[in-house]
Chain A
Amino acid sequence: MGIFRWLTPHCLNALYLKSLYLKALYLKPLGLALLLVLSLPAHSQAEADSDQGQALLTNLADASPREMDAAIEAIVDSGDPRARSWLDAFGNNRLSRIEDTGQVVVVLRNVGRDWTIADPLTGENLGEISRRELDRVNINNAIRGKLEGVLAMLDLYSDDPEVQENAAEAMMGKVNDSVVNPLTKLLERDLPGPVRNRIEESVAIYQLQQGEPQARLEAIDVLTGSLHSNARAALNNAVAGDDPAVAARAKQALVSIEQKLKMNRAAETLYFGLSLGSVLVLAAIGLAITFGVMGVINMAHGELIMLGAYTTWGMQQLLPGQPGLALILSIPAGFLVAALAGIAIERSVIQHLKGRPLETLLATFGVSLILQQLVRTVISPLNRSVTTPEWMSGSLVINDALSLTLNRMYVIGFALVVFAGLMLIMRKTRLGLEVRAVTQNRAMARSMGIRATRVDILTFGLGSGVAGLAGVALSQITNVGPNLGQNYIIDSFMVVVFGGVGNLWGTLLAGLSLGTINQILEPWAGSVLAKIMVLVLIILFIQKRPKGLFPQKGRAAEG
């Protein structure tokens, strides 16, 4: 061991410190007296409270290296809420003594000749003091190493549940002889659930590795519920170990863990499926309006999505540093941009091709090519990056094996909101009524006084605007580039056709189920093959039920 190597210089150091301290006492009695006099009345109340803290700190500062352990332990054992900050300062070389008074202070800023210091007891800023008047409370590497373990323990005692949880997480698999006892002691206290579980598991891992046979078996029981990878690793080791009883029990535990993992994986697949599905729903729902309700094939629909995504990007360029605000503003802006573009397409091209669906398809395909190339020429052929605001990044941790990314959750929610909004518009507003009337029987609707052209414009604008909304959402989960729309157009049509043309519920169900099927197939088929299989599946399905999942019935079907 390297004990002697570090002991000697440290002793010298401490001696040196002490001599300095004494020197200070002798040389500046006057200043000391003055300070004491000045500080006595002001501190009298605080001193009574922080008597204990004062003593602990002084004890630490005075301690010889050999006594340091005890001094640190005393601080930890005190349960003082400020203990953490003291030890932090100590570990960072920020704990010093004022030569004159012997008062222990925390150095806030150690740049230049005069350092800013604060009272460790009250946290009060004590102003600046010359560097020369401060004595650092020294620390060496061995003590620092110990201190880290102690700090982790201290975090476990913290009042902040988040700090506690992180500390417990850090303990996982790192339990050794020195912390196992305090940890066991800690378990006697009242702890929040996750923290308790974590600590129990980490102690169990330790027991499984080091403990007595009986303790090992108990440890396995504790670990049976755990999904943490460290727990599994420890159990795997135990299976390979030499104790047959333990190995058998561990094997059993692993089987049950595997079962649980499977469930979690299924939940994860479902989540990914739903998120992919909601993207499909978003992309297709606008199409369900223009194609499904109006019967207009708009191959430029994908490019309207792309415009929505680029609007988000443009908004973020306009409001640098505020991605969240920009994103929220992009929702109306993306809707407007895409809706106006859609109306322009309707007025300039589609209205001339009424009743000729195949020609409409070709013409709008031409429009999509023009829009794509326009973006390539004006903005860039390369992908643009859209920042995800902070409140959308990160993930929601359910357990060790399952965490749900937040941005996808927002997209799922957004898709549902958009869907509900559209449903309301189509079912509850005058516009929706008129749209349904015009699609069922245009001539009759017109003779009842409905302005069919106006309805066309508004409907097309609505469908296109929803495509813009899809673009805003997509900008958060995929690359924003000129090809963005192209990647979704075929899928969108598939969703609409699969769900049954003219049926919004069908589109929702089709989108979600296609997304989920895709995600279920993906693990064993690969992403490309999964996509192909879904396409083939749809093609076969259309053969069987040409009108989709929910074919329109009655008069609407004849239109």
Chain B
Amino acid sequence: MPTSQFWLLRPLQERSTQIFLGVLFAAVALVTLLHLIIPEGHALHVSAYTVTLLGKYLCYALLAVAVDLVWGYLGILSLGHGAFFALGGYAMGMYLMRQIGDRGTYGDPVLPDFMVFLNWDSLPWYWQGFDMAWFAFIMVLLAPGLLALVFGFLAFRSRVTGVYLSIITQALTFALMLAFFRNEMGFGGNNGLTDFRDILGLNLRTDATRLGLFIATGIALAIGYVICRGIVTSKLGRVSIACRDAEARTRFLGYRVERVQLFVFVVSAMLAGVAGALYVPQVGIINPSEFSPLFSIEIVVWVALGGRATLYGAVIGAILVNYAKTVFTGVMPDAWLFALGGLFVLVTVFLPKGIAGLLQKRKKQEEDTDTDAAQPKEATA
């Protein structure tokens, strides 16, 4: 098998990545076709609502992949990835806010409604530039990336790891939530940013735009997956796994552990930011509740359910849990937290490797029986 030297192309030659991308693109194509070709009212028709819902799941899947990258391959349990997700979302939300222009309730050509409501007379400096799409899209990567860089630099340099790091990341997102709840922060306070109209000149409320966003999310997930896969199969990824399993030993072998950790952490934060940016136009709102520690820890349970350190497991977990959430909150809203809580307990106690672990086990058993047939005595020995 010819192997490419370029790290991003290498995953494309892997069997597992090919299967994953194949399934993902097939699913996106199928949904697109069912939405466009099958007429409304038909049993197989996929409504625009469902398309958006699936788009939301794909955003969560990308977020879960980002968390799996740091948790599965770096051993850092981040309970604050919701913060990066929300920051990306806010960057996108600010762009969408500026696109409203003078169509807001107060009709101010520059200021968003909530600023007019708060009697602000000019745009704060950090809102400058968000009327330009390219700037906003850069900020989607830069804002979470910078936060991760500063936070990670401080944390990894002083070798804060394990449970401590988890709790600090939780405190980080909690602090940000409190901060974003304040009206004076200039991000719409409690209500957040909402009432969006256009993205790149396209009306957000049309089905075509929604479908476009869904497809874009699918592509983003594919790219994100390939990037992560590329990282974990590269030499850097090997070192990162070594950090996960024996940090001190890796350090003594001469690797700069904190640099590896910082790099992977920042990449993961940026991926989470992209997921947030794609999430906001589809959901139509971004508010501080995305910063809540509960949301961040929920992401971790998606990954845990799907199976840690597999990447595709994270995608499966995210989609499954969120589908269950949609069903539960629709049918028995009270039962959802019971189910989620139970999931936390059951997965960690009985299913430590998640669904992916189950799949691998079965595969391994099959292989084992194959080898058993060939060389029965050696296998038992």
Contacts and interface: CB of A to CB of B under 8 A. Distances in A.
A294 to B, nearest CB: 13
Interface stretch (B19-27, B113-121, B123-131, B166-174): B166-174
Nearest to B160: A546
Contacts of A493: 167, 170-171
A373 interface: yes
B340 interface: yes
Interface stretch (B85-93, B177-185, B249-257): B177-185
B154 A546 contact: no
Given A377-B334, A528-B181, A490 B349 contact: no
B182 A528 contact: yes
Nearest to A534: B175
B352 interface: yes
A376 interface: yes
Contacts, number: 116
B164 A366 contact: no
A367 B158 contact: no
B361 to A, nearest CB: 18
Contact of A542 (B164, B301, B342, B344): B164
Contact of B345 (A366, A373, A538): A366
Contact of A497 (B154, B164, B337): B164
A535 B175 contact: yes
Q: Could you tell me the dominant secondary structure of chain A's interface residues? A: helix
Interface string A507-541: 00000000000000000000011011001101110
Nearest to B337: A373
B154 A358 contact: no
B206 interface: no
B338 interface: yes
B348 A359 contact: yes
A365 interface: yes
A361 interface: yes
B61 interface: no
Interface in B163-213: 163-164, 166-168, 170-172, 174-175, 178-179, 181-182
A500 to B, nearest CB: 12
A540 B154 contact: yes
Interface string B146-158: 0000010011011
B170 A490 contact: yes
Contact of B304 (A362, A490, A494, A543): A362
B300 interface: yes
Contact of A532 (B158, B175, B300): B175
B320 interface: no
B297 interface: yes
Contacts of B155: 543
Contact of A369 (B164, B174, B304, B340): B340
A532 B185 CA distance: 13
B364 interface: no
Given A369-B337, A373-B334, A532-B179, A358 B163 contact: yes
A372 B157 contact: no
Given A357-B163, A494-B171, A544-B158, A366 B181 contact: no
Interface in B300-355: 300-301, 304, 334, 337-338, 340-345, 347-349, 352
A538 B155 CA distance: 12
Nearest to A496: B167
A535 to B, nearest CB: 4
A528 B334 CA distance: 30
A475 interface: no
A544 B155 CA distance: 9
B174 A490 contact: yes
B342 A546 contact: no
Contact of A361 (B166, B175, B179, B343): B166
A522 to B, nearest CB: 13
A361 B77 contact: yes
A368 interface: yes
Given A358-B166, A373-B341, A528-B182, A543 B158 contact: yes
A376 B335 CA distance: 11
Given A359-B352, A362-B301, A490-B170, 19 more contacts: A297-B163, A362-B300, A362-B304, A362-B348, A363-B345, A365-B341, A366-B301, A366-B345, A370-B337, A370-B338, A376-B334, A494-B167, A528-B182, A532-B175, A532-B179, A539-B171, A539-B175, A543-B160, A546-B158
Interface of B: 77, 151, 154-155, 157-160, 162-164, 166-168, 170-172, 174-175, 178-179, 181-182, 293, 297, 300-301, 304, 334, 337-338, 340-345, 347-349, 352
10 contacts: A349-B345, A349-B349, A360-B348, A367-B341, A369-B341, A373-B334, A373-B337, A532-B178, A539-B154, A542-B158
